Chain A
Amino acid sequence: MKNLGGPVAQPPEQMRYATWLDWGTRVGLVVLLASFAAYVLGLAESHVPVSRLPELWVHPVGRFLELTNSPTGWGWLALVHRGDIAGLLGIAILAGSSVACLLALVPLYLARGDRAFAAVCLAEVAVVLLAASGWLSGGH
């Protein structure tokens, strides 16, 4: 440990990831809040009326989907004009922002000849995309 105290330059890939993450999170949160405001203010028609929610959210997700005829997977995109479903757009941006950040790092790692970390980034992207693809299913 040295007693220097000044700021320490962080690796360029770390700084690039920070910038992309910053913007991804900001955009995600703005979309999330705007769509939710439109939803609760009734500016957009809801797929499930808000007044019915208290009798529905007590059920397991499978039963909830049956009772509300709600979509699974990426089916929500077709209903994104509905107030309640639109909220998923901001959530999807937040959950997907890491993918863009990681892809932005790959050229930096490759230019430096750091193939191992380029591969680690791509592996993480593959895992998030696999989860996002909807190919994997669970449920009661």
Chain B
Amino acid sequence: MTMRRAATLGLGLWLLSASAQAAAAAPGSGVPWWLWPLGLFVACFVMGIVAVPAGIGGGTLFVPIVGSFFPFHLDFVRGAGLLVALASALSAGPMLLRNGLGSLRLALPLAVMASASSIGGAMLGLAMPAQMVQMLLGLVVLGIVVLMLVSRKSEFPQVERPDALSQALALHGVFVDGASRRTVSWQVHRSVPGLFVFLGIGVLAGMFGIGAGWANVPALNLLMGAPLKVAAGTSSLVLSLVDSSAAWVYINQGAVLPMIAVPSVVGMMLGARIGARLLNVLKGSVIRRLVIVVLLFAGARALLKGVGVWP
């Protein structure tokens, strides 16, 4: 147990020190250009490791942490954040679809709503003053922290009767639960409120460039009644479509810099692979608490930066 705690603490310190080092060196202070993408790669690698056991998307960590502690303008951070979330969701998609943990049928109608609204969110985010976006980002990140602290989960919610729309669209499926080896049939309800919730989620995803798994999973699981694993898998499919639309707005506006986006994507994907392998070694609850503390700090930093208290 002591070893595990030391390992988790070490990871946390690494994350914080990488961020602090990056923050310490001001732009134009003689720091060679390559140190920034290298620091970004290291920070994203660590974020990728902790994201899996913490049960949070790497994209959700990326924007508040990189936006707060690296010198890049928030426009480029959000563009890169969308690509981090997009690349992760695209990579996970085929496996989730093949084993039935992600339901394409459930994802598609929700993705249409969220994709359309994410375009509006992205345009709004790029049109608003950076300080306003920083402030709103801080509020959203602090909201995510609250959601992580209080949200319940339901492994297999009871859906007595599907609603008319989900019946008409045949929003149901079957998967094998790896833990119990049981074949689970599922269906959903409250699909109309679900569609409206995803409309709002799309705006947030596009505006802030953060992956929206933190909002997708509770909406699919607690509101619509999808089993937790199907909710997590389907959330990833929805993200891959929503972030595609929002990413195009950022690409067309010139807000995607390969020098920021590529080291972030590669670092996060490599880190996530290590994180998945360390899933049984690291204590998920400790990592989750650590991530909550880091997000709390990053959210407060973004909020204070937005209101001009901590520039």
Our pick among A6, A33, A91, A98 for the contact of B83 (Cβ within 8 Å) is A91
Q: For residue A19, which residue of chain B has the nearest CB?
A: B94
B71 in contact with A58 (CB, 8 Å): yes
A28 to B87, CA, bound (A): 9
Q: What are the residues of chain A within 8 A of B310 when measuring CB–CB?
A: none
A5 in contact with B115 (CB, 8 Å): no
Interface size on A, as a range, is 35 or more
Interface size on B, residues (CB 8 A): 75
A138 in contact with B122 (CB, 8 Å): yes
Our pick among B36, B95, B175, B246 for the contact of A131 (Cβ within 8 Å) is B246
Our pick among B73, B112, B176, B256 for the contact of A127 (Cβ within 8 Å) is B112
Could you give, for residues 83-97 of chain A, a 1 whenever the CB lies within 8 Å of some chain B CB and a 0 otherwise?
010011001101111
Q: What are the residues of chain A within 8 A of B168 when measuring CB–CB?
A: 116
Which of A19, A25, A35 has its CB near the most chain B CB atoms (within 10 A)? Answer: A25
Q: What are the residues of chain B within 8 A of A2 when measuring CB–CB?
A: 182-183, 185
B72 in contact with A91 (CB, 8 Å): no
* 8 Å CB interface, A40-54 against B: 40, 50-51, 53-54
Q: What are the residues of chain A within 8 A of B72 when measuring CB–CB?
A: 57-58
B261 in contact with A87 (CB, 8 Å): yes
Judged by a CB distance under 8 angstroms, whether A110 is at the interface is: no
* With A91-B258, A91-B261, A116-B169: A121-B73 Cβ-Cβ less than 8 Å: no
Judged by a CB distance under 8 angstroms, whether A103 is at the interface is: no
Judged by a CB distance under 8 angstroms, whether B104 is at the interface is: yes
A28 to B89, CA, bound (A): 13
A5 in contact with B122 (CB, 8 Å): no
A10 in contact with B97 (CB, 8 Å): yes
Q: What are the residues of chain A within 8 A of B14 when measuring CB–CB?
A: none
Q: What are the residues of chain B within 8 A of A35 when measuring CB–CB?
A: 258
Q: For residue B76, which residue of chain A has the nearest CB?
A: A57
* With A21-B94, A97-B90: A5-B181 Cβ-Cβ less than 8 Å: yes
- Stretch of B27-35, B53-61, B141-149, B212-220 that contacts chain A: B27-35
Q: For residue B168, which residue of chain A has the nearest CB?
A: A116
* 8 Å CB interface, B7-31 against A: 27-28, 31
B115 in contact with A128 (CB, 8 Å): yes
Q: What are the residues of chain A within 8 A of B261 when measuring CB–CB?
A: 87, 91
Judged by a CB distance under 8 angstroms, whether A111 is at the interface is: no
A87 in contact with B104 (CB, 8 Å): no
A4 in contact with B86 (CB, 8 Å): no
Judged by a CB distance under 8 angstroms, whether B93 is at the interface is: yes
B71 in contact with A95 (CB, 8 Å): no
A127 in contact with B119 (CB, 8 Å): yes
A91 to B257, CA, bound (A): 10
B247 in contact with A95 (CB, 8 Å): yes
Nearest CB of A to B243, in Å: 8
Judged by a CB distance under 8 angstroms, whether A78 is at the interface is: no
A73 in contact with B98 (CB, 8 Å): no
Judged by a CB distance under 8 angstroms, whether A134 is at the interface is: yes
Nearest CB of A to B218, in Å: 23
Our pick among A84, A88, A98 for the contact of B244 (Cβ within 8 Å) is A98
Which residues of B come within 8 Å of A, CB atoms? Answer: 27-28, 31, 33-34, 36-37, 71-73, 75-76, 83, 86-87, 90-91, 93-95, 97-100, 103-105, 108-109, 111-112, 115-116, 119, 122-127, 129-130, 156, 168-169, 174-176, 181-185, 240-241, 244-249, 251-262, 265-266
- For the A-B complex with A53-B36, A138-B126 known, give 18 more contacts whose Cβ atoms are closer than 8 Å: A5-B181, A7-B176, A21-B94, A25-B91, A25-B94, A28-B90, A51-B33, A54-B31, A61-B255, A64-B73, A65-B254, A70-B254, A94-B86, A116-B168, A117-B105, A121-B108, A131-B244, A140-B129
**Shortest beta-carbon contacts, A-B, top 6:** A87-B258, A138-B123, A5-B181, A138-B126, A18-B97, A131-B248
Name 22 interchain pairs, CB-CB below 8 A, sorted by A. A6-B183, A7-B176, A14-B103, A15-B97, A21-B97, A36-B262, A54-B33, A55-B27, A58-B73, A61-B75, A61-B76, A72-B254, A88-B251, A94-B247, A95-B83, A117-B108, A124-B108, A128-B245, A136-B119, A137-B252, A138-B124, A139-B127
